[in-house]
Structure 1
Amino acid sequence: MSARRRLLAAVRRRAAGRLARPRAWLMNRLFLPRRAGRTARLRYAALLDGQTVNLHAELPGSVTEADHAEIVVLRRRHRHRVPARVYAGRDGRYLVDAAVLLGTGTRGVPVTPGRWKLRLDVGTGRRVRQFPLLLAELTKPPTGTTGPMKSSPVTADRYRLGRTVRGDARVVCAKARPAAEVVNVHIEHARIEVDLRLLGVGTHARQAEFVAAGRSVTRPLDEVEPGVWRVDVPLAEMVPTGSRRVHWDVLVHTDARTPLRLGRRLHDVQAPGRVFAMRKILVSPRRDTLMMIEPRYTPAGNLRFTCGDGAGAEQRNP
């Protein structure tokens, strides 16, 4: 992201933060009381896997019968319908459950970047009633070793749930950020082999660069299957000089102006360095040379190879 885009994003975040409190006051004090009984109130709304909106709504008491329902995703003249399940709860109030898959790459609703409203159509026979989906409170995400994904694991497009000042639920869609995502890492005694895919940029990858302090190894990229690129680097070119360990990061050069740092980010784990841990390997990339190589992910999710002298490791593990 360029410096100008980062500055604009920061300005937008600060402006949104200043407006959050007055927006909440208007919604809770003015709009919600006036709309009671005329909307379907969302009791649960979450987007956990990065691409599926899960909804549970309660219909107003005026609905005394219903046999079919649909979620309508709309923006301007575009409207997409997704079937929903409608049923009577224990107290007689009608409830609706729905799962709305988003994105053409997932064969879901073909939403484009922008804000999309959510509406509910409920019918009995040929009669159909329309209700706004009211999101009075945002569902709190679960806490633990995993959390909600911020991007689609398939396309890396970004979706989030929001609401208007009147409380209507909506989905905000944004394109994938440019990224190079790790698919597979394989280490042999003589080389490292990494498979990757590109997201949010053109599909043409030119080369990969393994960089360390004062050192660089450039290698070509080969497309091994549609959308998947492979790079291999000889371990002999990564041997550290002296006893100091060397940290190697991987940059992917495409048609974009700046290279992409290779990493793993399309996941829902909170500690990728521990969950996606890989074992250390003792190799001999040159005659009479032992090297310990440790592949890992940094806290930012970047792939890193740490190479160090392996002679001490051999002595500790005869």
Structure 2
Amino acid sequence: MIGAVRRRLGRLRRAVIALVVRWRAWWMQHAFLPLRGRGAARLRYAAVLDGQTLNLHAELPRAVRGAEHAEIVVSGRRRRHVTEARVYEDGQGRTLVDAAVLLGAGVGGAGLTPGRWRLRLRVESGRRSRRIPLLLLEAPHSYEGTTRPMEASPLTGDRYRIGWTATGSARIRCTPARPSVEVVDVHIEHARIDVDIRLLGMADARGWSEFVASGRRVRSDLADVEPGVWRVEVPLTDMVPRSDRREHWDVVLCGGSRRPLRFARRLHDLSDPQRVFTMRKIVVAPRRDQLMMIEPRYTPAGNLRFTCSRVSTAA
């Protein structure tokens, strides 16, 4: 019952958002574009595809055609970041600008702090320099298929999203990484399970991990493997089911004042990670004369889970 209500509310929310987007596109085309189009560059494409690179494609207004040089200026909080842009003419005589702006000081790009940042275009022709706004008249493109734009930087977990002001000027919103545990690799040995992880949105690696099943907990400390990567391990003898029923084990990070964080894999561009991040089942003998099957997988939410079941020796 609750699930059905949530699905209906989700469909209603998506329908309302789609209606608002269509209304905004019509309003921008018929109201703001005639007023501002003469002195502003129009973005034909704007997206952050890999989670940390802003890709822009814009058409310059007639008033500044013939520009020889262009730069993208990201400004806010008394700071600004400048990135070179490519200026060229197409076969129809239009002057176009292409740019790729790397975002995030941690990856060598523009060091944006949390908040909203303005996007403007600076063009030069001879000794003349002019700064013009970038108009975003339509919502960012939606994607269907096996992949989609990444929602966060795969290296830092920070989020960058394209938006617009009330007058249609483009801007970028920076959101810091949420506290999370990103799975790097999973190793299943005959005697134990090792899980390598990265910690995002946290100042340090204090705490411990717990493998949790119904009424059972197995603690494991974090071991430093390499800079930014930690490993947790659990003996398979501690995960043997107590009955013939299957047991599902989740892995969480505990410690400090925060709530336990699930081990997960969310920094990807896949529409259906369950079908891609597949891991093979394995049969092990954690105890003498006892076999156990381990099925590692990711849930629809991206959380790591191990399903353990007994295997009959007769079989």
Instruction: Note whether the superposition's TM-score is higher than 0.5.
Output: yes
Deviation per residue, 1:250-286 (Å, 9 max, x gap) = 0112434211110100001011111000000000000
- 2:213 maps to 1:208: no
Report the equivalent of 1:83. Answer: 84
Please name the residue that 2:224 is paired with: 223
SS in 1 for 2:120: strand
SS at match of 1:205: coil
Alignment-derived partner of residue 41 in structure 2: 40
1:206 Cα shift? 1.9
Contact residue 150 and residue 158 of structure 1 kept, 8 A? yes
Q: Tell me, what secondary structure is at the counterpart of 1:62? A: helix
Question: 2:8 — aligned with what?
Answer: none
Which secondary structure state, in structure 1, belongs to the residue aligned with residue 106 of structure 2? helix
Partner deviation per Cα, 1:158-216 (whole Å, 9 max, x = no partner): 11000011110000111111100101100001000011011111222321100000111
Which deviations, in whole Å up to 9, do the C-alpha atoms of 1:140-173 show, x marking residues without a partner? 1321011111111010011100001111000011
Could you state the TM-score of these two structures normalised by the residue count of structure 1? 0.89
- Trace 1:12-51 onto structure 2 (pairs within 5 A): 20=20, 27-51=28-52
1:25: Cα distance to partner? 6.7
> In 2, Cα distance between the equivalents of 1:266 and 1:64?
41
1:267 corresponds to = 268
Q: Which amino acid aligns with 2:126?
A: G
Q: What is the one-letter code of the residue matched to 2:180?
A: A
Q: Which amino acid aligns with 2:285?
A: S
Structure 2 residues not aligned, in runs of 5+:
1-12
Aligned to 1:142: 143
| AA matched with 2:212 | V
Distance 1:303 1:142, change over 3 A: same
Instruction: Give distance in 1, aligned partners of 2:194 and 2:261.
Output: 18
Specify whether residues 230 and 101 from structure 1 end up closer, same or farther in structure 2 by C-alpha distance, changes over 3 A only. same
For normalisation by structure 2, the TM-score amounts to 0.90
Contact kept? 1:181, 1:197, Cα under 8 Å:
yes
Name the CA distance, whole Å, in 1 between partners of 2:254 and 2:203.
11
Cross-structure match for 2:162: 161
Distance 2:61 2:117 in 1: 23
Tell me how far 1:61 sits from its aligned partner.
Answer: 1.5
Instruction: Indicate the larger mover: 238-247 or 135-144.
Output: 135-144
CA contact (8 A) 1:201 1:256 kept: no
AA partner of residue 104 (structure 1)? A
Structure 1 residue 26: Cα displacement: 5.6
Identity of aligned residues (%): 61
Seen in structure 2, the aligned counterparts of structure 1 residues 232 and 106 have a Cα distance that, compared at 3 Å, is: same
Residues 1-318 of structure 1 mapped to structure 2, 5 A cutoff: 20=20, 27-311=28-312, 315=315
RMSD: 2.1
Q: Distance in 2 between matches of 1:192 and 1:254?
A: 21
Counterpart contact for 1:24–1:165, Cα < 8 Å: no
How far off its partner does 1:27 sit? 3.9
- The aligned amino acid for 2:261 is L
Divergent runs of 4+, >2 A: 19-32, 254-257
Q: Secondary structure at the match of 1:44?
A: strand
Aligned residues: 301
**Could you tell me which residue of structure 2 aligns to residue 4 of structure 1?**
none
**SS of equivalent to 2:237:** helix
| SS of alignment partner, residue 172 of structure 1 | strand
Tell me how far 1:224 sits from its aligned partner: 1.5
Aligned-partner SS, 1:55: strand
In structure 1, stretches of 5+ residues that fail to align are: 1-12
Cα shift readout 1:74-110 (whole Å, capped 9, x = no counterpart): 1142111000000111111110000011011111101
CA 1:113–1:251 in 2, change beyond 3 Å: closer, same or farther? same
Contact 1:245/1:307 (CA < 8 Å) preserved in 2?
Answer: yes
| Native 8 Å contact 2:140 2:162 kept in 1 | no
CA contact (8 A) 2:136 2:168 kept: yes
